[in-house]
Structure 1
Amino acid sequence: MGLLKFLQLCVCSAIMAVGVLLNSAEPTVLIRFSRAPPPQSRFSTAIFGYSVERLDGSNACKKNGCSIHCELDGRSLRPCPAESIVLKNLTVNREHKFLLNVTTGDGETNSSAYSWFIDTIPPTATIHSEQIYTNAEKVAIDVTFSEACSGQSGFKCVDSSNCDVIIKGPAHVRASSLRVMEPGIKYSLDIILSLRSMYGRAVITVAENICTDQAGNHFTRTNGSTIIIHFDRRPVQLDLWTSVPSYELVINGVPRTVLATNKLEDIKLFLDFSIPIINSTKQILKTLHVNSGNLIPIHGKLRANRRFVFELKNISITEIITIEVRAGSILGRTGTPVFPVAPIMFLYDSVNPGVMLSTSSPSITKESNINVMVEFTKPVFGFEASMVKVAGGTLTRFKELSRALYSLTVLAEAQNVVSVTIPAGKASDISGNLNLASNHLEVKHC
């Protein structure tokens, strides 16, 4: 059985007709819809007005009457009035189909169907930009609607004061940059960020009630209808530091800060950036140079990609370590390179200082005062007279010549052997290593 749809719109009478051919022969009666909902409607009520006419325009149901049968979405409707019907409480956001079957008193038949969609979902829009963090003067944004939104003149941007994009902050829209990517759906614009501000943010929002969809639903803003562009043209700062302990020393009368340790677990390197950066941990590692050992990442991205932590492995027992970073290869999230930073230098030393005792006195002497020199293999701290162990005499003088060299005088007792030693663990070097025990110095006094 063939199918024929017949739709006729008369501007003067506003009559629409749709015919469906049920027989292979030319139909002798026509069904005309004088009223029907639009193809896209936002209302859950639909009103249909219809009439049955012969080819000459006369009423086909006037003499013998007609049998009229109605269906909505495949279900029969009771009753089915002769001229119009009102359909209420229809399911929204889906397609519906109204079917009208007519049989005249003479046995002539025809059928006509009409489909429409009830749409109650308002159109929305999303603003997107590839650069939500930037140091540039200009960024491009895309405005994409969820569906065609062309009613009420649609999306427009005539100038910065008459534009459907609203900007709060040190920025403005360049209306001349408007590009229609897809009519009614997608548009592109340039946002100009003020060069008078070193840093700040621009809040970009789609204006309200700017358009309607085909069903007449008004545009509604959502969270995606707003985007924030952060711009920062300040230098990106790097704080390069280590967990190695620091000590304040006076060397040749000049105060110095010395970093030293004897513990491998102390050697951790920290990189703290003033803003998040775009580089990965692996890329950061490639920018670091160390003169001894290997740097191993022990943490991933911390503090929103602002801190990176590494530890040093495989170094010798004593080494002056220097760590440098090629800061120019690291970029902040705004695209600005990191400002150069001074390298870090520290001492790693796990060797205990040794100590040697010597004297200018002969092994047997009549002199009561015995001079003793105390020489450490490296500078030590915390060495005092009370740490010298003396037997057969009394320590009468203790003088520091340098951190590694000390002079002592021991007053010997009569007819006795004077013994001088320095036990282990009494003083430590700058790295914290305790001294080894000294040799045993003996002088016989007679």
Structure 2
Amino acid sequence: MVWKSWGAVFLLVFAVAAALLCSSDAADDVSVSFSKTPPRVSRSASAVFTFQVLHTNGSGPCQDCVITCKVDGERASECGRNNGTAVVMSMRYARLKDGNHTFAACAGRRRRRTTTCATYAWDVDTVAPTASVKVKAGAAGFTSGSNVSVLVSFSEPCPGGGGFTCNATYCHLSVYGPGRVEPSTLQVLRPALQYSVDVTISPDLLYGRLILVMAKGFCTDAAGHHFTRTANSTFTLRFDRRSDSMNIGSSIPEKLLQIEGATRVVEATNDDKDLRVYISFAEPVMNSSSEILAALTATDALLTPTNRSTLGNRRFGYLVKRTTNTAVVTVSCDGNSIISRQGTPVSSSDPYTFLYDNQRPSVKLATSTVRTSSHNIPVLIKFAKPVFNFTSSALQLVRAYTQRRYRRLIIWFRSTSPRTLLRTLQEIPTYRQIVWKFCSCIIVIDRDRDDGNFCGNRSIRHAADCHNILATGVRGHPEAVFLCRIRAITKSLGWSMEFHTITIISGSTNNR
């Protein structure tokens, strides 16, 4: 039974040791408590924490505890060691960003693996609350309607001072211009953050603008900041009930033509290099260049966007690619698919038409007769199609000659004497001129004859020779020479008549 007694003793010793160990662990428990912390919502970017590390059994500060601190989940670092005299420890943090933050302070015995931690969460808010104002639907800042719905969106809740209020007595949204807020339409879309209210525009004006402005400092946020207006807290609303118009044109020069007594404007070109048409609007539109292209219709041509500046969606350019050498191109646009920035369809314009022709026009020259005695010769210039800027300077005289044809001269001589005939010729004031023409007649008529013109046995080739022969013959043998002349003329002309009756027909000379 001895072994049983020793076993009882062993059990008793083990129980006593366990009790002593448990009491030792209980005596080693510590607690961390904060004595100073920042507000739960702080308007400062810095924070100061003051805390104590004590034994839970009331024996005072932990003398050999290791204390670590960390902020926002960063790596913990030793922030203090209690040497038995320090009761309160302090930590300071600066340049904290706006948002949620968490501070943790942990303490534990050096020879123990267990630690005790205390945490504190707070928000840093250094920005004052504000609100943005904008229209709820449609083009930003433009409308053609009689009222619009306005959105008021706060950056953060601003409950202090009663928050946002809009009633029949007072509204924190003010309207400057021909309009007013309708308090009965106020809706809370997101509590303390977003509101909707209608603004009515005066029907007395066709166009104008309204300025919507938030009030100043009418509320505070949780951090104590007063409401502050920013650039987005003011909104300018332009209204225009006039219809937007458009115009289709190009850089093709205009020509004025008289057609059936009426002056008409014609636009034509033969150059397809960089040929463009432009769609211009009185006010900017909401459509893109490709959307407007879908609304365009062009005959005998293809259009492609130029992808250049649109002057604030006021002007759109398109390159014209021809499909034929000669075409009448007509460009039209469906205005119902073009929406102005006020939200209304654009009024359609007249189609734009121009002529493209790269074929040279043919031309014919003609006169009323191939022979004329007039010094002024009218020339008819007929083009196959209309031409522009044609003047007489476009005519070029490459090689031309005039044919001078003298009038017909008939002289009757009733004397049978050749001497009397010659005397009659001498009495004519223009005797030399008549003789010259008379001799020229012989030369012109017979210039292609091989035998020439003969007067007796002498050949006559020039007018001067004819005159000299005649003058010499008159002084020497006037009868023979003159009769020879008469015979030569009548023979060359094929006449048959008596010598006492002579018909003289003036001839022609060629001057080149």
Change (3 A) 1:171 1:164: same
1:191-270 to structure 2, matched below 5 A, reads 191-265=199-273, 267-270=275-278
Q: How many residues align?
A: 363
Aligned with residue 97 of structure 1, among 103, 125, 129: 103
**Segment of structure 1 superposing worse, 176-185 or 329-338:** 176-185
Higher fraction of strand: 1
Change (3 A) 1:335 1:117: closer
SS of equivalent residue, structure 1 residue 158: coil
Q: Is the 8 A contact 2:104 2:117 kept in 1?
A: no
Q: Is the 8 A contact 2:403 2:509 kept in 1?
A: no
Say yes or no: does 1:330 pair with 2:355: no
TM-score scaled by structure 1?
Answer: 0.66
State the match for 1:311 in structure 2: 319
1:15-414 to structure 2, matched below 5 A, reads 37-43=38-44, 44=46, 65-67=60-62, 73=70, 75-77=78-80, 90-93=94-97, 95-97=101-103, 99=105, 113-129=119-135, 130-131=137-138, 132=140, 133-159=142-168, 162-265=170-273, 267-300=275-308, 302-359=310-367, 361=369, 368-369=373-374, 373-376=379-382, 377-380=384-387, 381-384=389-392, 387=395, 389=397, 391-393=400-402
Task: Give the Cα separation in 1 of the matches to 2:314 and 2:176.
Answer: 28
Task: Give the Cα separation in 2 of the matches to 1:345 and 1:334.
Answer: 30
Letter in 2 for 1:350: N
Task: Give the Cα separation in 2 of the matches to 1:265 and 1:151.
Answer: 69
Q: Is the 8 A contact 2:32 2:51 kept in 1?
A: no
Note the C-alpha offset of 1:316: 2.7
Change (3 A) 1:266 1:121: closer
Note the C-alpha offset of 1:117: 3.2
Note the C-alpha offset of 1:306: 0.9
Q: Is the 8 A contact 2:69 2:106 kept in 1?
A: no
Letter in 1 for 2:79: S
Task: Give the Cα separation in 1 of the matches to 2:85 and 2:177.
Answer: 62
- Percent of aligned positions that are identical: 31
Task: Give the Cα separation in 2 of the matches to 1:393 and 1:340.
Answer: 62
TM-score scaled by structure 2?
Answer: 0.59
Higher fraction of helix: 2
SS of equivalent residue, structure 2 residue 294: helix
SS of equivalent residue, structure 2 residue 290: helix
Q: Is the 8 A contact 1:36 1:48 kept in 2?
A: yes
Change (3 A) 1:85 1:121: farther
Task: Give the Cα separation in 1 of the matches to 2:144 and 2:322.
Answer: 41
Q: Is the 8 A contact 2:156 2:221 kept in 1?
A: yes
CA offset digits 1:113-172 (Å, max 9, x no partner):
54333432323333343332221222223222233222222222223x622223333332
Task: Give the Cα separation in 1 of the matches to 2:237 and 2:85.
Answer: 61
Q: Is the 8 A contact 1:355 1:374 kept in 2?
A: no
CA offset digits 1:318-337 (Å, max 9, x no partner):
33332222222211111121
Change (3 A) 1:38 1:248: same
SS of equivalent residue, structure 2 residue 293: helix
Change (3 A) 1:134 1:155: same
SS of equivalent residue, structure 1 residue 163: coil
SS of equivalent residue, structure 1 residue 391: coil
Q: Is the 8 A contact 1:357 1:372 kept in 2?
A: no
CA offset digits 1:364-415 (Å, max 9, x no partner):
x7x64596652422344434288263622179xxxxxxxxxxxxxxxxx995
Change (3 A) 1:52 1:313: closer
Q: Is the 8 A contact 2:37 2:47 kept in 1?
A: no
State the match for 1:425 in structure 2: none
What is the RMSD computed on CA atoms of the aligned residues?
4.2
Q: Is the 8 A contact 2:55 2:62 kept in 1?
A: no
Q: Is the 8 A contact 2:53 2:61 kept in 1?
A: no
SS of equivalent residue, structure 2 residue 273: helix
CA offset digits 1:6-50 (Å, max 9, x no partner):
xxxxxxxxxxxxxxxxx999x999998787544222244658699
SS of equivalent residue, structure 1 residue 265: coil
Letter in 1 for 2:190: E
Note the C-alpha offset of 1:347: 2.3
Q: Is the 8 A contact 2:103 2:120 kept in 1?
A: yes
CA offset digits 1:244-276 (Å, max 9, x no partner):
111223334333222222222374211111111
Pick the structure with greater CA Rg: 2
Task: Give the Cα separation in 2 of the matches to 1:360 and 1:118.
Answer: 104
SS of equivalent residue, structure 2 residue 222: coil
Q: Is the 8 A contact 1:281 1:301 kept in 2?
A: no
SS of equivalent residue, structure 1 residue 235: coil
Q: Is the 8 A contact 1:92 1:119 kept in 2?
A: no
SS of equivalent residue, structure 1 residue 335: coil
Task: Give the Cα separation in 2 of the matches to 1:264 and 1:66.
Answer: 96
Letter in 1 for 2:400: A
Task: List gaps (5 residues or longer) in structure 1.
Answer: 1-22, 55-59, 104-108, 396-412, 417-443
SS of equivalent residue, structure 1 residue 162: coil
Q: Is the 8 A contact 1:92 1:120 kept in 2?
A: no
Task: List gaps (5 residues or longer) in structure 2.
Answer: 1-23, 71-75, 110-114, 405-439, 446-507
Q: Is the 8 A contact 1:34 1:51 kept in 2?
A: no
**Segment of structure 1 superposing worse, 298-307 or 82-91:** 82-91
State the match for 1:408 in structure 2: none
Letter in 2 for 1:206: M
